[in-house]
Each structure stands twice: as C-alpha cells, then as structure tokens.
Amino acid sequence: MAASVDLDDLDLQILRILNTDARKSFRDIAREVGASISTVSNRVRKLEQEEVVTGYAPLIDESKLGFDVLAVVGVKIHKGKLLEVQRRIARDDRVTHVYDVTGEWDSIVVVRLKNTRELDGFIKRLGSMEYVENTYTQVVLNVVKEERRVVL
C-alpha cells in the first residue's frame, strides 16, 4: 500500500469539489474555496504529481450502453501463481476490478457484460485458465449503492 499524503484543509476542499464535478474550472473552484486561480492550479497539479488524483473520467451508466449483467466471481488460484493469474484476468476489458483478498477465495473479480451468454463464456474461459482451481459466481440482481468517488 502506498504511503498516505499530508493534505491541508484547502487540498481537501479542492478534492471535494473535483470529486463532485471534475469538469469545474479552476476559476470556479478558486471562487468557491476563496483562493486564487494560480493557487488552485498549483494545488491540483501537486495532487496529480503525488498521485492523489490519478485521472479524470465520466461516471457512465453502463446499463444504458447495454451492459446488463454485473457479476462478482470468487477465484481459487494455485499457490505461487496468484499474481500471474490476476494479471491475466485483469487484461480482459470487461473486468472492472480484480482484488487480492483474504478468506475462502484468493481473488475477487468484478465483471460487466451485456448478457448471460457472455457471462457463461467468461466463466468457462476463466475456469479453464491455467492455475485457476475453482470459481464461484454471483450475479448482482440490484445495485442498492455504488459509490465510485472517495468520500472525504
């Protein structure tokens, strides 16, 4: 895990604003936090350099693009091959998350697909990968909460 970065109140205010609307102009952010545009610009650049802010992306409703199946897959992996297999799984563009976890499963994979036929193919390919010992799939029926932003 990376070391945490010391942030002051102004940094946190800027992050809260970017977290809500990453397209907001430095001018509007400066007005909101009571700082100059150059101060806000320098702070944001520093947050990017320190990799507190790692990028900017729109929040997209995947279901509007036809991705109707969200699945969470537990994966058991042969000892000594965990990272190799996780990296192979992560190369699939449909996989949104690969977690190295404690507990019954070695890894948890989250995948978004268009339909159950795609899910069937994904699970069969995953299960046939070298060093994958077993999988356990759960299909998400409803999303009650899914927050993609860090709450500050």
Domain of 97, CATH number, reads 3.30.70.920
85 and 34 together in one domain: no
pLDDT, one tens digit per residue, over 110-127 is: 999 999 999 999 999 999
Cα distances (Å, whole numbers) of residue 53 to 14, 41, 102:
11, 13, 28
**The total number of structural domains that make up the chain:** 2
pLDDT, one tens digit per residue, over 38-80 is: 999 999 999 999 999 999 988 888 989 999 999 999 999 999 9
**4 in any annotated domain:** no
Write the DSSP assignment of 9-32 as a string of letters.
HHHHHHHHHHHH-TT--HHHHHHH
Q: Residue 40 maps to which CATH number?
A: 1.10.10.10
Please give the residue range of the domain that contains residue 124. 62-139
The pLDDT, as a whole number, for residue 102 is: 96
Q: In one letter, which amino acid is 102?
A: T
32 and 77 together in one domain: no
DSSP letter assigned to residue 94: T
